[in-house]
């Protein structure tokens, strides 16, 4: 799995369509992952975000800090940042931890909007959340 993720990170960087980052603890353990995927620069500059945090690191505010850093990098102007205008996240209704992280990191839930993700051959409905450069609170 690690090799697959590393290859996805390399391919995303090379194409400009993804940014995948990990956070590590001072002792070198991987804390979590913070990703921007499907980066597009057309009429709108936007991406999809997802994140995860290791079970032993939950409740420490690390996911919120990582997602805020991800958003800041996405919204910072080129060349230091990505110059994006909007970031989307689809979060399962029962994933209360990710919903709290999204809210604390500056995402807003879009009532009535859903996205769908194929998980192990089954389509899962996700609530739509967005962070918009014009309203994002750091």
b/e map 119-132, b = 16+ CB within 10 Å: eeeeeeebbbbbbb
Q: Given this model, what pLDDT does residue 50 score?
A: 96
Quickly name the fold that domain 2-132 has: Aminopeptidase (3.40.630)
DSSP 28-83: S-EEEEEEEEEEEESSSEEEEEEEEE-GGGTTSSHHHHHHHHHHHHHHSPTTTS--
**If you average pLDDT over residues 57-61, what whole number do you get?**
95
The two tokens of residue 38 are 């499907």
Total-model pTM:
0.91
pLDDT tens-place string over residues 76-108: 999 999 999 999 999 999 999 999 999 999 999
Given a cut of 80, whether residue 137 has pLDDT beyond it is no
Q: Given this model, what pLDDT does residue 129 score?
A: 97
> So where are the chain's domains?
2-132
Q: What integer best gives the mean pLDDT of the chain?
A: 94
């Amino acid at each position: 799995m690690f090799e697959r993720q590393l290859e996805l990170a390399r391919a995303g960087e090379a194409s400009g369509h993804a940014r995948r980052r990990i956070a590590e603890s001072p002792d070198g353990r991987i804390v979590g992952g913070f990703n921007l995927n499907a980066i597009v620069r057309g009429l709108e500059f936007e991406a999809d975000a997802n994140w995860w945090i290791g079970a032993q690191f939950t409740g420490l505010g690390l996911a919120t800090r990582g997602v805020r850093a991800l958003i800041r990098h996405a919204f910072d102007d080129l060349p230091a940042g990505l110059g994006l205008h909007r970031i989307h996240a689809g979060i399962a209704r029962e994933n209360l931890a990710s919903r709290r992280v999204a809210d604390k990191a500056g995402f807003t839930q879009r009532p009535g909007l859903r996205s769908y993700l194929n998980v192990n051959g089954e389509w899962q409905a996700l609530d739509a959340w967005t962070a918009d450069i014009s309203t994002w609170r750091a």
